[in-house]
């Protein structure tokens, strides 16, 4: 498991144990990766984040067109694999979870434990975000450090 925010580790670890998920990606609504588990290549993580954010945005737009508050998460299932893509509210905006699971669990259990994960993350989130400039003086250095932390390099 790799996380950018250290307070995400405990709730995510508990979710992984309970849900038997194979792959998990937590991201902001713009596709910024917060945490990941189960990916083997950084390119896969970035592609999944971009696609997940785009799917969540198009689903939200479809809900707006249909004049409804939300269409909720998106579930895809095939032989031996399922995918849950679900947005959830956080203190600093919407996050999106992408969960890949196998036949050892069910979509109902994954959704149950995912909802618990969202509650645990909201509870664990820092009360006040640190005030930092939009583009810090050390932006490139901090970006590289975050990427090394996330991808273990």
For residue 33, being part of any structural domain is answered with yes
Is residue 146 situated within a structural domain?
Answer: no
Of 65-69, 122-126, 147-151, where does mean pLDDT reach its minimum? 147-151
Residue 93 belongs to some domain of the structure: yes
Give residue 63's pLDDT band: very low, low, confident or very high (50, 70, 90): confident
Number of structural domains found in the chain:
1
Residue 143, in any domain of the structure: no
> Is 144 a member of any domain?
no
Q: Which pLDDT tens digit goes with each residue over 100-136?
A: 999 999 999 999 999 999 999 999 999 875 565 566 6
Please give the residue range of the domain that contains residue 104.
2-128
In a domain, 147, yes or no: no
Closest CA to 110 of 79, 59, 76, 60: 76
The CA distance from 146 to 50, in Å, is: 18
Domain membership of residue 148 (yes or no) is no
In a domain, 32, yes or no: yes
Look up residue 103 and give its two tokens: 């036949």
Per-residue pLDDT, averaged over 35-42, amounts to: 87
Neighbours of 39 (CB within 10 A): 20
Q: Residue 47 belongs to a domain with what CATH number?
A: 3.30.450.30
Nearest one of 114, 141, 142, 115 to 130, comparing CA atoms? 142
């Amino acid at each position: 498991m790799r996380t950018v925010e250290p307070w995400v580790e405990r709730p995510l670890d508990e979710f992984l144990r309970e849900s038997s998920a194979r792959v998990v990606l937590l991201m902001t609504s713009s596709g910024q990766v917060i945490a990941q588990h189960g990916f083997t290549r950084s390119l896969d993580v970035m592609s999944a984040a971009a696609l997940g954010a785009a799917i969540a945005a198009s689903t939200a737009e479809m809900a707006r067109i249909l004049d409804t508050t939300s269409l909720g998460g998106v579930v895809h299932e095939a032989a031996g694999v399922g995918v849950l893509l679900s947005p959830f509210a956080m203190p600093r905006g919407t996050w999106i979870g992408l969960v890949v699971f196998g036949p050892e669990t069910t979509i109902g259990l994954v959704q149950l434990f995912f909802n618990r994960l969202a509650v645990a993350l909201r509870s664990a989130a820092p009360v006040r975000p640190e005030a930092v400039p939009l583009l810090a003086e050390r932006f490139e250095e901090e970006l590289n450090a975050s990427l090394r932390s996330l991808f273990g390099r």
